Amino acid sequence: MAKKTSVSPLAPAAFPALQPVEGVRFATVAAGVRYRGRDDVMLAQLDPGTVLAGVFTTSSTRAAPVLDCEEKIGGASEAGAVILVNSGNANAFTGGRGREAVSAITDAAARACDVPHARVFTSSTGVIGEPLPFDRITAHLDTLAKALSPDGIAAAARAIMTTDTFAKGAGATVDLGGKTVTISGIAKGSGMIAPDMATMLVYIFTDARIGQADLQDMVSRQNARTFNCITVDGDTSTSDTMLVAATGASGVDVTGDAGFEAALHKVMLDLAHQVVRDGEGATKFVEIRVSGAVNDKDARRHALSIANSPLVKTAIAGEDPNWGRVVMAVGKSGAEADRDQLSIRFGDVPVAEKGWVSPDYDEAAAARHMKEQSIFITVDIGLGEGAATVWTCDLTHGYIDINADYRS
Amino acid sequence: MAKKTSVSPLAPAAFPALQPVEGVRFATVAAGVRYRGRDDVMLAQLDPGTVLAGVFTTSSTRAAPVLDCEEKIGGASEAGAVILVNSGNANAFTGGRGREAVSAITDAAARACDVPHARVFTSSTGVIGEPLPFDRITAHLDTLAKALSPDGIAAAARAIMTTDTFAKGAGATVDLGGKTVTISGIAKGSGMIAPDMATMLVYIFTDARIGQADLQDMVSRQNARTFNCITVDGDTSTSDTMLVAATGASGVDVTGDAGFEAALHKVMLDLAHQVVRDGEGATKFVEIRVSGAVNDKDARRHALSIANSPLVKTAIAGEDPNWGRVVMAVGKSGAEADRDQLSIRFGDVPVAEKGWVSPDYDEAAAARHMKEQSIFITVDIGLGEGAATVWTCDLTHGYIDINADYRS
């Protein structure tokens, strides 16, 4: 089991005060799936009429609960829905027993909460390859259903943590036509998205009214600009799941509303950044902006090549303005680049221009920027209009400490 | 500069006793390009009639000497040729001054060694983005030309080292029609190593007789099975170069000869493995064999996804038989896989079969294998006949130490 004892130096000061979302109630319990002395199961019950959209890992070895959610997510129902999440065991790579566990938990949740099977969405996060002791979860479902409360979201954020060093939450409100629409979300994930214990799970709730297909479009579009733009180590979990639930209780229709979509974007980006800020061993939060690529897709390839390069990430850990490694990462990305058109800045400091060290390069100023906690690397490819921004963290001894430990 | 003080624990016991190759002479000198107190320039002169083949980095930001070699490599000439290599400065990302430096060095070498410009092949390795002080090299060319000796290959191997902790050499002889053909090669490289070749320079010499196109075919084919199957950190250098020179002095025509190609393969694989064994911070040599993929290309994607995964590499450093991370890496590779067909072995120990932990899994036996210096991970995708083998090393605190240092 990965150990992680102290809170990330990049953590926010406190868990935010999230607004309750009408039509959503939470309960948590210490079911003892694996951890002792802490809640490890959270139940969210969603009122009848709630619409759900989702995004899931594209891993070809994805876990049983993910496959089950994928099948159900497109469905619509006037009935209520529930989300049930356990930490401690990912129910991944568990063969036929994985499906049996999902089925047993879904049965129990549907019965306890009086919703159809097709409206029960489950996630599991923790060790992989061990059978999920699902009876420990099903035994608590009646208790959970009775304990539901509109104010339980902070406890829910804590119950889904694994190697996270802090609970993650973000919220927004939007005024639309004289009424207020609320968005409140939670996430877990630390380091990327490792199958061991660091899967990313995201649950966002809103009282907005919107159709399933419209919500899915919005969520997919904003996912591409937020969670799909973060990387800690380039590794991808078998269990990553994001669910967005819209209860409609505000009575405000947000179909095609730019203001609502902007607020949703803000909540998703905030949660995504918090996952990076809890990156295993992270000491620096890094924003990489690429412009001037032939197209946006190429810009993203360059940005991710920089963000995932061990040599770039260790240079940042060492507070070294090593732009040669950025050049290397652009060169290996596979996307189009011309060495003699490339310009690079660290913070506000131009380090390279048109393929060579900047004539005004001030190494002391670049070195000062590298000592900051938030690092900005800007690369202009100089070929076109394509742009992308991604976020990552540095690669430190802390990452090795956490991940080279023997599983106990 | 990265510091590296002790020899890799995975190094061979000694530099091999390489046979001189008729038609090839070497000289080295301490030109003070950057390092002090050691030779940093090597010259190899190749007799008239020598044929050269080459493989170069595909980086879009490749260095000036690489671009120059690429232009020249296809040419043929009855004249002799020279290879001139400096360490300490890569002459990469140096704009127009990079081309000027190549031109100045080429001029001086052509004059001192009496060969055409088109037959001077240069490489530079070391820091990126600083102008190469080429006058320090050109000042020594007459001295180098006078010092040429058939026995200088070991000194040449030392002169091209940068962060390498040991000089790398490999050789073979083949008996063909009662005559002996000799192959002797040297290489440098210890980080920034990934398919597409990476901060890696390789020079192989043989007295075989073969046409340029035939030699190039053979070299490209064997490169795909050797240097393009190793990775240390997934990062790719802007300077990778392999040159293979055939002097023809043995009089033995090896066109299409399987025995010669096998010997060339052996030398290339030996040098490639030595580069992995000098991987920055490496404590384990890792062979990853993937079979049962839909095709060879998919097998290679799976194998490289495993080999480049920081979570797999840190688990190996921690001597942890963490097959869950191997499943994760297969899942994220983008190549076809079916979780329920996957089987994994560590050494001879079956750990996972058909999508779940092996019924006979002996964790103690798997843990014993992980304590070896050479680790074997075998993955059967269970879908087809595609196969691939790649080699890598673990990811340790040593890698962070070496690469998170401030450039001095």
* A374-393 pLDDT per residue, tens: 999 999 999 999 999 999 99
Chain B residues lying within 8 Å of A236, measured CB to CB: 328, 331-332
- From B329, which residue of chain A is nearest by alpha-carbon distance? A235
- Paired tokens of B54: 């080459």
For residue A99, give the nearest of B340, B338, B333, B353 by alpha carbon. Answer: B340
For residues B154 and B265, membership in a common domain is answered with yes
**Interatomic CA distance for residues A265 and A171, integer angstroms:** 11
Disruptive mutation site among A4, A56, A59 for chain B (greatest number of B CBs within 10 Å): A59
Q: Which domain holds residue B356?
A: 285-403
Structural domain count of chain B: 2
Q: Please return the burial class of A366, using the count of CB atoms within 10 Å of its CB with bins 0-12, 13-18 and 19+.
A: buried
CATH code for the domain in which residue A345 is found: 3.10.20.340
Contacts of B251 (CB under 8 A, 6+ apart): B179, B209
Name the domain boundary from A277, A310, A326.
A277
Amino acid of residue B179: K
DSSP state, residue A229: G
Q: Of B237, B342, B404, which has the smallest distance from its Cβ to A328's Cβ?
A: B237
For residues B66 and B175, membership in a common domain is answered with yes
- From A305, which residue of chain B is nearest by alpha-carbon distance? B235
- Is B17 a domain residue? no
Q: Please return the burial class of A58, using the count of CB atoms within 10 Å of its CB with bins 0-12, 13-18 and 19+.
A: exposed
pTM: 0.88
For residues A240 and A353, membership in a common domain is answered with no
Rounded to a whole number, what is the distance in Å from the CA of B237 to chain A's nearest CA? 6
Q: What single string gives the DSSP state of each residue in B359-374?
A: TT--HHHHHHHHTSSE
Q: Of A233, A328, A404, which has the smallest distance from its Cβ to B236's Cβ?
A: A328
Predicted pLDDT at A408: 38
**Interatomic CA distance for residues A315 and A21, integer angstroms:** 43
- Paired tokens of B58: 């595909």
Rounded to a whole number, what is the distance in Å from the CA of A303 to chain B's nearest CA? 14
Predicted pLDDT at A195: 35
**Interatomic CA distance for residues A208 and A254, integer angstroms:** 6
Name the domain boundary from A277, A296, A314.
A277
Under 8 Å CB pairs connecting chains A and B tally to 207
- Is A18 a domain residue? no
Could A404 and B60 be called an inter-chain contact, meaning their C-beta atoms sit closer than 8 Å? no
Q: Is B48 helix (H, G, I), strand (E, B) or coil?
A: coil
For residues A224 and A312, membership in a common domain is answered with no
Q: Quote the strand ranges of A81-128, DSSP E.
A: 81-89, 120-127
Is residue A32 within 8 Å of A138, Cβ to Cβ?
A: no
DSSP run (H or E) holding B113:
helix B95-113
For residue A312, give the nearest of B149, B257, B192 by alpha carbon. Answer: B192
CA B323, A58, A261, A84 torsion-angle sign: negative
For residue B162, give the nearest of B242, B94, B85 by alpha carbon. Answer: B85
Name the domain boundary from A226, A257, A277.
A277
Could A129 and B325 be called an inter-chain contact, meaning their C-beta atoms sit closer than 8 Å? no
CATH code for the domain in which residue B102 is found: 3.60.70.12
Q: Quick one: average pLDDT of A241-260?
A: 96
Angle at which helices A64-73 and A95-113 cross, to 10°: 50
Q: Is A33 helix (H, G, I), strand (E, B) or coil?
A: coil
Q: Is B209 helix (H, G, I), strand (E, B) or coil?
A: strand
- From B324, which residue of chain A is nearest by alpha-carbon distance? A128
Active-site choice (B57, B106, B199, B238): B199
Angle at A61 between CA B196 and CA A75, to 5 degrees: 125
For residues B248 and B339, membership in a common domain is answered with no
Distances (CA, A) of B368 to B333, B343, B348: 28, 20, 11
Start-to-end CA span in chain B (Å): 6
- Paired tokens of B19: 């046979």
Q: Of A330, A332, A397, which has the smallest distance from its Cβ to B397's Cβ?
A: A397
For residues A98 and A196, membership in a common domain is answered with yes
Predicted pLDDT at A232: 78
Could A311 and B127 be called an inter-chain contact, meaning their C-beta atoms sit closer than 8 Å? no
For residues A143 and A39, membership in a common domain is answered with yes
The ipTM of this complex is: 0.84
- Paired tokens of B55: 């493989």
- At residue B7, what are phi and psi to the nearest 5 degrees? -70, 140
For residues B195 and B295, membership in a common domain is answered with no
Disruptive mutation site among B200, B339, B358 for chain A (greatest number of A CBs within 10 Å): B339
- Is B11 a domain residue? no
Amino acid of residue A151: D
Phi-psi region of A3 (alpha: psi -120 to 50; beta: other; left: phi over 0): beta
Give residue-wise pLDDT tens across range A139-179.
999 999 999 999 999 999 999 998 899 999 999 999 998 99
**Interatomic CA distance for residues B261 and A222, integer angstroms:** 54
- Is B49 a domain residue? yes
Rounded to a whole number, what is the distance in Å from the CA of A71 to chain B's nearest CA? 17
Predicted pLDDT at A188: 94
Under the banding of pLDDT at 50, 70 and 90, the label for residue A46 is very high
Round the average pLDDT of chain A to a whole number and report it. 91
Could B61 and A342 be called an inter-chain contact, meaning their C-beta atoms sit closer than 8 Å? yes
Q: How many CA atoms lie within 13 A of A177 on its CB side?
A: 8
Rounded to a whole number, what is the distance in Å from the CA of A38 to chain B's nearest CA? 25
Chain A residues lying within 8 Å of B163, measured CB to CB: none
Q: Measure the CA dihedral A352/A353/A358/A359, to 10°.
A: 170
Where do we find the tokens 């979302």? Answer: A21
Could B339 and A235 be called an inter-chain contact, meaning their C-beta atoms sit closer than 8 Å? no
- Is A78 a domain residue? yes
**Interatomic CA distance for residues B365 and A161, integer angstroms:** 32
Q: Quick one: average pLDDT of A1-11?
A: 71
Predicted pLDDT at A403: 82
Predicted pLDDT at A406: 44
- Paired tokens of A298: 């190429």
- At residue B184, what are phi and psi to the nearest 5 degrees? -135, 130
Give residue-wise pLDDT tens across range A273-317.
999 999 888 999 999 999 999 999 999 999 999 999 988 999 999
- Is A15 a domain residue? no
Q: Of B191, B337, B397, which has the smallest distance from its Cβ to A61's Cβ?
A: B337
- Is B18 a domain residue? no
Report the largest interatomic distance among the alpha carbons of chain B, rounded to a whole angstrom. 71
Could B399 and A310 be called an inter-chain contact, meaning their C-beta atoms sit closer than 8 Å? yes
For residues A180 and A320, membership in a common domain is answered with no
- Is there a catalytic annotation at residue B226? no
Q: Of B93, B237, B330, which has the smallest distance from its Cβ to A355's Cβ?
A: B93
For residue B335, give the nearest of B299, B306, B287, B377 by alpha carbon. Answer: B299
**Interatomic CA distance for residues B254 and B172, integer angstroms:** 14
For residues B73 and B197, membership in a common domain is answered with yes
Could A194 and B336 be called an inter-chain contact, meaning their C-beta atoms sit closer than 8 Å? no
**Interatomic CA distance for residues B230 and A170, integer angstroms:** 43
Q: Of B61, B130, B322, which has the smallest distance from its Cβ to A327's Cβ?
A: B61
Rounded to a whole number, what is the distance in Å from the CA of A213 to chain B's nearest CA? 27
For residues A330 and A374, membership in a common domain is answered with yes
Spans in chain B with pLDDT lower than 50: 1-4, 194-198, 406, 408
Under the banding of pLDDT at 50, 70 and 90, the label for residue A198 is low
Is residue B43 within 8 Å of B82, Cβ to Cβ?
A: yes
- Paired tokens of B85: 């290599």
Active-site choice (A199, A206, A238, A392): A199
For residues A255 and A335, membership in a common domain is answered with no
- Is B242 a domain residue? yes
Q: Measure the CA dihedral B183/B188/B193/B194, to 10°.
A: -20
Predicted pLDDT at A339: 86
Could A339 and B404 be called an inter-chain contact, meaning their C-beta atoms sit closer than 8 Å? no
Q: Is B288 helix (H, G, I), strand (E, B) or coil?
A: strand
Predicted pLDDT at B192: 59
